[in-house]
Amino acid sequence: MTNNRNESIDMGLRNFIKTLGCMTGGTALLATTPWLTSCTPEKLEEAARERRARIGVIGTGSRGQYHIHNLLKIQIAEIVALCDIYQPNLDAAAKLVPGARLYKDHRKLLEDKDIDGVIIATPLGTHAALTIDSLEAGKHTFCEKAMALTMDQCKAVYDKYRDSDRVLFYCMQRMYDEKYVKAFQMIRTGLIGDIVGMRCHWFRNADWRREVPSPELERLINWRLYRENSAGLMTELGSHQLEVCTLVADKMPTRVAGFGDIVYWKDGREVYDTVSLTYQFGDGRNIVYESLISNKFNGMEEQILGKAGTVDLSKGVYYLEEDDLVFGVRQLLTQVRDGVFAAVPTAGPSWRPELRDKYVPHAILKQASGAATGQNMIGEQNDGSDIILEAFCQSCITGERARNVVEECYSATILCLMGNQAMDEKRVVSLPEEYIIPYMKF
């Protein structure tokens, strides 16, 4: 590998780490983002001097091709194999990577000795089996979220990973999205005071359907609509947002209640198109979660509510309660001056206007960062997916695991599946003891 190549490699990951100020041994890195300790610029340069990570991709549909496009930009990565049971997807991916070996059976790909790491971008119902097969074959593994379709499958994957010496990543892109990571650090330093609650929602207006060329392919192509392979809105959307909440809280909710139904898209699907849940921590604080796919007005928001302010992670901004107070005092003095009040009211803070639009937004990052609308079905630009994929490729070379990524994905997936159970059974569901892992805090 030439020196010129070494000097120009992987600026995405390098700049991401340097911008955050998370250098090797940095206290901020260790305290709030321990998963980044495996991908410092020094380790990246060391990996790049050694060789490229040889990657095989299982699942070459829209999300798989999204990863392929990102992999082609990562200079420490080389795509050597592609696998899909659906020929049109495999053909489309082969055009992107003309030199890759093609497989219809994932087991044949896993037998390929020339592959270091495997990326799994297949329907949720296949995640557990493919991940276990990949780890057993000695491959470093990167899988889409969520971890699995059932809690038993989640535990089986976690146990296999714990007993393995291989690297395992899940596409927890918010853990590698610059505005989220910076916000985690700011919240931990007390920016918004004590956290008193969390509110997340994700609204779209689309039926989630894809065109099917032949009726027998309906459940293969539209797998998100059927329970044999999908857990619906919770795992497809909610897993990302619940992940953020547990990262910020540094603990797990203990129970959940809620309602779900097929309100609008009555087209034969089996998963809910509308969900509304409340997760409760042991100390009484709540995560309020809502999602539907028949109205997009509210888009996507992830709000961390503190006594001193609010952080909206998806938009990359925060609001301080004291800013609103300043506005209220100024308004009050103006009204006194104009004779609206004969004297200053004595009601105190209870008089203060509680209108959301009076809060002043402050950017989390100094440089511009896009606010995610949540409407993209495949992946947002610069949402952290490319950075975490690059970190995985580095780990394929070094063999170093990223701390907490698997554990956070496990925790978020368990919460999603608990939510579905609560909605299905119309009762409060508590976290089953048999699925508690040592990583979890309460």
List, for residues 374-394, the tens digit of each pLDDT value: 666 576 667 889 999 999 999
Determine the pLDDT at residue 131: 98
Determine the pLDDT at residue 154: 98
Which of helix, strand or coil describes residue 119? strand
Domain boundaries defined on the chain: 3-175+384-402, 191-377+410-435
Cis peptide before 146 (omega within 30 of 0): yes
Amino acid identity, position 291: S
In the chain, pLDDT over 70 holds for what percent of residues?
Answer: 82
Is the pLDDT confidence value at 365 over 70?
A: yes
Mean pLDDT, all residues of the chain: 87
Beta carbons of 30 and 37 less than 8 angstroms apart: yes
- Which has the closest alpha carbon to 278: 201, 342, 180? 201
Is the pLDDT confidence value at 17 over 90?
A: no
Tell me the pLDDT band of 42, cut-offs 50, 70 and 90: confident
| Residue 340, CA distances (Å) to 333, 349, 433 in order | 10, 18, 60
Class of domain 3-175+384-402: alpha beta
What average pLDDT does range 310-316 have in this prediction?
94
The residues that bridge with 261 in the sheet, in sequence order, are 274
Non-local (6+) Cβ contacts of 226 within 8 A are: 219, 269, 270, 271
Beta carbons of 49 and 1 less than 8 angstroms apart: yes
Tell me the pLDDT band of 194, cut-offs 50, 70 and 90: very high
In the chain, pLDDT over 90 holds for what percent of residues?
Answer: 73
Non-local (6+) Cβ contacts of 376 within 8 A are: none
226-259: b (≥16 Cβ within 10 Å) or e: beebbbbbbbbbbbbbbbbbbbbbebbbeebbbe
Beta carbons of 412 and 246 less than 8 angstroms apart: yes
- Higher per-residue pLDDT: 44 or 207: 207
Tell me how many degrees the CA angle 190-193-199 measures, rounded to the nearest 5.
110
What average pLDDT does range 199-215 have in this prediction?
96
What average pLDDT does range 222-233 have in this prediction?
98
Tell me how many degrees the CA angle 390-394-396 measures, rounded to the nearest 5.
115
- Which has the closest alpha carbon to 396: 45, 29, 1, 77? 77
Tell me the pLDDT band of 32, cut-offs 50, 70 and 90: confident
Instruction: Give residue 44's Cα distance to chain centre.
Output: 23
- Which has the closest alpha carbon to 301: 314, 289, 319? 314
Determine the pLDDT at residue 329: 46
Q: Which CATH architecture describes the domain 191-377+410-435?
A: 2-Layer Sandwich (3.30)
- Which has the closest alpha carbon to 408: 161, 129, 59, 163? 161
Q: Rounded distance, CA 229 to CA 155, Å?
A: 18
What average pLDDT does range 208-212 have in this prediction?
95
Determine the pLDDT at residue 248: 94
Residues 122-172 have pLDDT tens digits of: 999 999 999 999 999 999 999 999 999 999 999 999 999 999 999 999 999
Q: What's the start-to-end Cα distance of the chain, in Å?
A: 48
Question: Exposed, middle or buried by CB within 10 Å (0-12, 13-18, 19+), for 340?
Answer: exposed
Tell me the pLDDT band of 61, cut-offs 50, 70 and 90: very high
Tell me the pLDDT band of 368, cut-offs 50, 70 and 90: low
| Range from 12-26, 155-169, 299-313 carrying the lowest mean pLDDT | 12-26
Determine the pLDDT at residue 31: 66
